[in-house]
Structure 1
Amino acid sequence: MAIPKKSKTSGDVTVKKSSPDTKTPAHLTHYTDLAGLKGIIENNELWLSHAAFLNDPQELEHGVEQTKKVLNNLLDGKAVEPTATARQKLIKDIADDMENFERPAAYIVCFCERSDILSQWRGYASRQGVSITFKMSGLRSCFSELDAELLQVAYGINEAKRHLRTAIAEKFPDIVDDFDYMLGTEEDDAIRRKFKDLLATLVPRFKHYGFREEQEWRLVVRNPPIDKLKFRPRGQLMLPYLELKSKNKKLPISAVRIGPGVNDEAVEKSIRFFLETCGYDPDLVETSSTPYRT
């Protein structure tokens, strides 16, 4: 099965689905707190955090570990022909590279396909959570300052392996096909560098199966210019992030949902007033139907 092709028009964010059969959602939702809502609305932008500093630092390791397993599977067969022997050595060199694989400089903001998920509200149990729902078409067209991609997350080991095998077969036939390898003109070092580049695009897309409820998509910018980086303190860390500004006057927001908490009526009234003051329709505000209380 071929890798899904990029779906993009001039100036649009690239959208990559986890499968060609996946239906692209009409809306995506970002979960945050009141401070996050204020910053997004007033500054007309989204903040993208460095992937190495996500709440779960093991997320990137999941993709790296699955890559190692796929490469080891490719090494299982015995090489009898000279080209096959050379190919196996190349794969082994790439597998060895994975031991010191440099995690990609990817900056990410996360979205879910659903706007009222209990596990997400629990993440904001110590403060008032809100979810901001965006029109997918608007997300694709309003960010053009940096080269961004909107990636659907693939959950579980089997999905990660399927993506990796497909990517290797499509992008590197010289690794999996003896004849192509024999006729190839590229040096092994060049192939290894390109393989690392490929992994940098794939690793942020993989997540443990236990998180599948989120139905997550990620807006990703890789290797941004150094002068675009900002930093903010969190605990003992200085977290790098990007400000991704909309080229439109308003963000493509279709709903703002108030997460479960205390004094919901007062919270709703204050958010409606805030949105109206910022030029958004106050009727965008909804309340959570989740029976969870802090």
Structure 2
Amino acid sequence: MWASLATALEDQSEMRYALTRATQLIESGQIEGDASFLGDIVPCLNSATSPTAAILGLKTYVTSFRTNTDASTHWKTYASAGTGFALAFNPKLLEIPGTLLHPVIYDIEEQDKLLRAFIESTDLLFKRISVLGHNNDTAFRLRQRAIHWTALGLWTLAPLVKEHRFREENEWRLIVIEPVSAEVKNGEGISQEVRLRSSNGRDIPYKVLGYNPLPVVELELGKHTAVALDDLGLKEQLQHATSSSDVSITRSVVCPKKSRRPE
């Protein structure tokens, strides 16, 4: 599977939404902590001007999953208007070392609770470090480091926070976090190299997540897929990829709405 660089995805409104919510929490005084420390985090949350990534370096790669396959838009957008298929995975086996699998949060109160808890915990940690009696230069550098790491944490959490209008997707996301300036030994299955894929004329960096065997538990054919449920070739391919003969094959009854082709 591909885990694409979150900051290179076409719809950057998702990242901006989460970072904007965090900014609003800080600026509205809804977070307990040192006002000066919290205020200095805000500039690092501006997706257009943030110096955070350049200063510390951190890349977040994301693979997305929908748990609602009954929506017509699911089959129209992701399965070639119902002529494709959907794979269901075992979530426990998807989360390999070096990754985080988590449901996307659509409820605003739950989003604010998550962001607030993270920011307040880092503020508290910085306070505990500050009382150790460092000299002025060390104290300043520790403060800057704490500000940037807090911002980086919020950038990392951003893919897990989406607007309520997308709630029907019931999306989960698998996240791979990789510091750029540190040598990291990824878990088995995560490619060391970063590859590029083309989408609408843009190059999007991605890492490969490899599974052996593939943790697939079900294959759901689209309503308009020509392949039969008892196709022996399909069953052999599934057994080869999953090392199991228990993968169920079903067919969706959802009829995706066809969109007009551009002239």
TM-score interval, smaller chain: 0.7 to 0.9
2:23–2:45 CA contact under 8 A, matched in 1: yes
What TM-score, normalized to structure 2? Answer: 0.74
Residues in 1 aligned to 2:104 and 2:31: alpha-carbon distance in whole angstroms: 28
Deviations 1:214-236 (A, max 9, x none): 22111111126695101122331
- 1:192 matched residue in structure 2: 147
Query: Equivalent of 2:39, from 89, 92, 95?
Result: 92
The two structures, once aligned, show a CA RMSD in angstroms of: 3.3
What displacement does 1:88 show? 2.1
| 3-state SS of paired residue (1:207) | coil
1:262–1:293 CA contact under 8 A, matched in 2: no
Query: Equivalent of 1:217, from 172, 178, 181?
Result: 172
- Greater alpha carbon shift after TM alignment, 271-280 vs 212-221: 271-280
2:217–2:247 CA contact under 8 A, matched in 1: no
- 1:41 matched residue in structure 2: none
Query: Equivalent of 1:285, from 245, 249, 254?
Result: 249
Is 1:154 aligned with 2:105? yes
- Greater alpha carbon shift after TM alignment, 114-123 vs 275-284: 275-284
- 1:165 matched residue in structure 2: 116
Query: Equivalent of 2:4, from 33, 39, 49?
Result: 49
Q: Decide whether aligned partners of structure 1 residues 76 and 276 sit closer, same or farther in structure 2, where only a CA change above 3 A counts.
A: closer
Is 1:113 aligned with 2:67? yes
1:153–1:218 CA contact under 8 A, matched in 2: yes
1:47–1:241 CA contact under 8 A, matched in 2: yes
What displacement does 1:59 show? 1.1
1:75–1:91 CA contact under 8 A, matched in 2: no
Q: Decide whether aligned partners of structure 1 residues 267 and 48 sit closer, same or farther in structure 2, where only a CA change above 3 A counts.
A: farther
5+ residue gaps, structure 1, are: 1-45, 78-83
Q: Decide whether aligned partners of structure 1 residues 267 and 239 sit closer, same or farther in structure 2, where only a CA change above 3 A counts.
A: farther
1:257–1:285 CA contact under 8 A, matched in 2: yes
What is the number of residues matched between the two proteins?
A: 232
Residues in 1 aligned to 2:30 and 2:244: alpha-carbon distance in whole angstroms: 57
1:148–1:220 CA contact under 8 A, matched in 2: yes
Residues in 1 aligned to 2:30 and 2:130: alpha-carbon distance in whole angstroms: 18
Query: Equivalent of 1:123, from 72, 77, 83?
Result: 77
| 3-state SS of paired residue (2:256) | coil
Q: Decide whether aligned partners of structure 1 residues 267 and 200 sit closer, same or farther in structure 2, where only a CA change above 3 A counts.
A: farther
Of all paired residues, the percent bearing the same amino acid is: 22
Is 1:66 aligned with 2:21? yes
Deviations 1:81-100 (A, max 9, x none): xxx8xx32222222233333
Counterpart residue identity of residue 255, structure 1 = E
Q: Decide whether aligned partners of structure 1 residues 206 and 236 sit closer, same or farther in structure 2, where only a CA change above 3 A counts.
A: same
Is 1:252 aligned with 2:206? no
Q: Decide whether aligned partners of structure 1 residues 125 and 136 sit closer, same or farther in structure 2, where only a CA change above 3 A counts.
A: closer
